[in-house]
Amino acid sequence: MPPCTYVHRHEVGSHYDVLKNVVYIQTIKLMQEAHPDGVVLIDTHSGPGVYDEVPEAYHKAANKVIERNLNAPPPVKKYVSILNKLKKEFGDGTLPGSPLFAREMMRENDEHRLVDLFEEDVEGLFEDAVFQQADAYAPETLDILLPNNEPLHPIVLIDPPYDDDQDWFKARALFESILDRRPDATIVMWIPFIRDHGQRWSYAKSLKELAKSKAKVGRYYCTIVVRKDQLEGGAMMVANATKDLIDVVDEETLEWLAGVMNQGKGKNQRTCYDCVLCEYPSG
């Protein structure tokens, strides 16, 4: 990887973080509607839950979205309402991570399961959440994330740091192993577009092929590109999405996000977006 292009912890509140949580929230909402008896929210790289520093990326992305929220599409409004609630709960100098957004979406009959190798606890979670310090990529951890007898429908967020080349391959293997165990599991996965990186084009293609061969229902895939260097943008892959996801996080939503969070100027301006829903025969 080229040096100084992408440091995961510096991207809280960035365009990547906004897109991730907009898609994650709506995936949870639609899956809860499809599974009224309960879902289990599983986060493979939970992070600390609450970040005590607000990086510069926040002011270029999430803060712009908050400022323009009155004219935002409904999925963005939902994200902003949760973000503002959590900022008020923990203080303006903090930012919530994905476990806190999931916490706000929980119902009484849902469960919450988190893993992170580098954290000893996850701040801000209610007492019913289960956290274990473990390596999400270790084969034995799959029994923690997704036991064979799991009665609830799993929604798995895979949001790894991608901080070395092995992380890319390990995250892909985790994606595959989850679908091998539960072909109907819903997986929400972040894919970074890092300029000049060797996986810039091939990684998303390989995940699409994996989902096509192993996902029982199909996949939703959306992209957003808002700058010309470093972390240009990224994609969200949702394996086994509901048919309605593309009608909720649609091209209008992505166009609005890309326009608001665009970080290019003049000839360097680069803004694009796309989304697609592919269905596969149930087996």
Of the candidates 268, 233, 213, 210, the one whose C-alpha atom is nearest the C-alpha of residue 60 is 233
Task: Judge residue 91's burial from the number of C-beta atoms within 10 Å of its C-beta, 0-12 exposed, 13-18 middle, 19 or more buried.
Answer: exposed
Report how far residue 48's alpha carbon sits from residue 118's, in angstroms, rounded to the nearest whole number. Answer: 9
Average pLDDT over residues 73-94: 96
The confidence score (pLDDT) of residue 265 equals 60
DSSP character for 266?
A: G
- The pLDDT of residue 198 is above 80: no
Q: Please state, as a whole number, how many other Cβ atoms lie within 10 Å of the Cβ of residue 164.
A: 9
Torsion angles phi and psi, residue 40, rounded to 5: -115, 125
- The pLDDT of residue 282 is above 70: no
- Percentage, residues of the chain above pLDDT 90: 80
What distances in angstroms separate CA 201 from CA 48, 209, 211, 230, 234, one per listed residue?
30, 13, 16, 15, 11
The confidence score (pLDDT) of residue 4 equals 41
Task: Judge residue 255's burial from the number of C-beta atoms within 10 Å of its C-beta, 0-12 exposed, 13-18 middle, 19 or more buried.
Answer: middle
The confidence score (pLDDT) of residue 3 equals 42
- The pLDDT of residue 9 is above 70: no
The confidence score (pLDDT) of residue 99 equals 97
Residues 209-268 have pLDDT tens digits of 999 999 999 999 999 999 888 889 999 999 999 999 999 999 999 999 999 999 876 544
Report how far residue 51's alpha carbon sits from residue 261's, in angstroms, rounded to the nearest whole number. Answer: 21
Which is more confidently placed, 236 or 272? 236
With contact defined as beta carbons under 8 Å apart, do 37 and 108 qualify? no
- The pLDDT of residue 81 is above 60: yes
With contact defined as beta carbons under 8 Å apart, do 256 and 268 qualify? no
Dihedral sign computed on CA atoms, order 156, 46, 112, 61: negative
Structure tokens at 91: 């203080």
Domain 8-279 has CATH 3.40.50.150: yes
- The pLDDT of residue 59 is above 60: yes
| N-term to C-term CA, the chain | 39
Pairing mode, strands 130-133 and 272-279 = unpaired
Average pLDDT over residues 165-189: 96
The confidence score (pLDDT) of residue 71 equals 95
Q: Quick one: how far is CA 252 from the chain centroid?
A: 19
Of 5-9, 35-39, 97-101, 242-246, minimum mean pLDDT range: 5-9
- Radius of gyration over every alpha carbon of the chain, rounded to an integer in angstroms: 17
pLDDT confidence band for 127 (50 / 70 / 90): confident
Average pLDDT over residues 21-40: 98
The confidence score (pLDDT) of residue 267 equals 46
The confidence score (pLDDT) of residue 47 equals 94
